[in-house]
Structure 1
Amino acid sequence: MLLNFNGEVALSEWLAEEERPRLLNVRTASGVPQTLEVMIEPVGNDYLLFGELNAVEQEHLSREVLELNHELSNLTREFAQSNAELQLVNSKLEQSQLQLLQSEKMAAIGQLAAGVAHEINNPIGFVNSNLGALKGYVEEFIFLIDAYERYADANGTATDQALQAVREKVDIAFLRDDVVALLGESRDGLERVRKIVQDLRDFSRIDSPDWQEADLNAGMESTLNVVWAELKYKAEVVKRYGELPPVRCHLGQINQVFMNLLLNAAQAIEGQGKITLSSGVEGLWAWVSVEDTGNGMTPAVMKRIFEPFFTTKPVGKGTGLGLSLAYDMVKKHGGRIDVTSEPGQGTCFQVWLPVAGPETPPA
């Protein structure tokens, strides 16, 4: 409230006059001029002024308060509506990102399909070959058993000579050793197929809602088996895993992060190179790194590698979404990805994740 004096009487003199009601010209916050009758009461070196607005101004102020309350109510409704719309947009965005993750996963599986088929066909091929050999061995065993049954009740030198001839024909010593070896090879081959299929199943669980206490080293090994056909002709893989505590995470998504980093490392290497896989823990954080001896990156490229659709690969060789999605998935876990690179020296991606998981896991 602004107090306006006419300037003819000094304020000190005006206040020092005998105690009586005084008139003040005031202008309220609404801009309405008023003459206010006040009483003055000294308080130490200061003065308190007491007075009331007239009924017109009180009514005007009440009307202003009602208008402001009405405007506030409208703004509250608009805010609630905007908030609901924002939640809907966020929900649609999460669904779109999940679909994008699924599409990227399917694109990766398509890229790996030929290599995985080769990795499965190799053991299946020699298991099939072993089964053919085992069929012949079983037939010879049956032939030998039949011979023993045929001469079981006969005695004499002729019988012994006939059985010896059958044994030499069958080569029982060789069969005894080779049957065990073929069964062992076949079992190993089938175990390789089972492991590849299990790793593919683990990798395909990208859209599973389950958060779990997971072994990141095992996740990296599982992913490495899935992409092995893409790596084994390009690089030597060196493993330097440290001991890690169980990390609360969505392992299917973290496996996809590992896959993107492994494939990028292989593609960055021209000719033959080396990929080093490391892991460790520092305080409340676990980390896993993928380091390659590839071409490396310039600072200008490093600034953009996590941008959607940015890629340095030839047309048709990449979507430019791999690292962008990996960055988003790690961020949702409350983690981060550190990158170091030197042109011509190689690149290292280091994924950091909180051991306890994000403070508020995404739905």
Structure 2
Amino acid sequence: MNKQNRILLAVAGVVFLAIVILETAAPANIVAAYGLVFPILLVARLRNRVLMVLAVVCCVAATYLGLMQPTKPGRFQAAVINRSVVAGVLMVVAYVGMTWEERKAREEASKAALAQQTESLLRANTLLVDAKDQLNRSERLAAVGQLVASVAHEVGTPLHSIAWHVQALAEEPGVTPAMKKRITVIDEQLNRVVRIIQDLLSSTRQRKPEPVWMSTERVINPATALMEPAFHAKGVSLSTELAIGIPHVWADAEKVHQVLVNLLANALAATAQHGSVIVQASGRPATAEEVDVARRMAPDMTAMMVTIAVRDTGVGMPAADVQRAFHPFFTTKEVGKGTGLGLFLSRETVTAHGGSLSLQSEAGRGTVVTVILPGKMPNPSATV
């Protein structure tokens, strides 16, 4: 019995005792007996039939208590009739009160059941929406596979031709060291394009990342070096800010390189001449949720996360586009200039490392895309 019910029962008991005392002091006053209706109504609020029966028995007995007192000759029969009327009224009140409270209890139970069913329906609807989204995603990924498979052969032929000419160019006697460096970059990127096509051919089951612990500079510098000529040609500044003592990062160098190049390409496309793009990297303590997820991929992480933020001063995105930025095939670029798969595949890659990828943007105020990956403080004696 809860506190409220105990208070009701106590009040009913006090009222009952007060009426009994009044009946004992003035047995001829039949009006006081009608006051027993109040404890009966209070007990009815408890919605307990056993307590109600006990209350009715006690109140009826108290009603006839006045008959135990001496009365004037010839008044006893009238007193019995009057007390019997009171007892009848008390029983009717008890029945009506109990019936009313039980009906209220059934209504409350029905409302609770309805609320529970509504909540269950909402959960089922959420699961249905998630399943529908998963199905749409699978269908889109299947479409990606079919699309890439249909053009892979046509793309592969010129790539092989380009690779052959690059190799021939590297063997020319007049090639300078600077030219050889550029040729090496071209050859590496041709090989990367081939691997990307291979991944897209099986986009529903991309190559599983094979991450290792490496310095953050080793992840960032190749991507910025590759994109620097494009930034210079457009007149957009590209800079890197690395925090002191940044942890090592858990990364598949090729996969994360692909992610950063995609983010830098998006930032360059959104930034006008004389604008700027900054790549900022730092370490921070991991949250409990991040540790739980990241340690499934990197068991020896030291509860640290490495954040790599690509921040631009470009045109930004409206809120509606931000919400759809990671949807497959969604792009704000002109037809023929974007597939709408870059951010989607980038987030898939980062998630497979045990990290996360987020985007913050505001129209006219630029965009910040943040890659968060598991981190580990390096061994001072280890080589980077």
More strand by share: 1
Report the TM-score when normalising by structure 2: 0.44
Report the TM-score when normalising by structure 1: 0.46
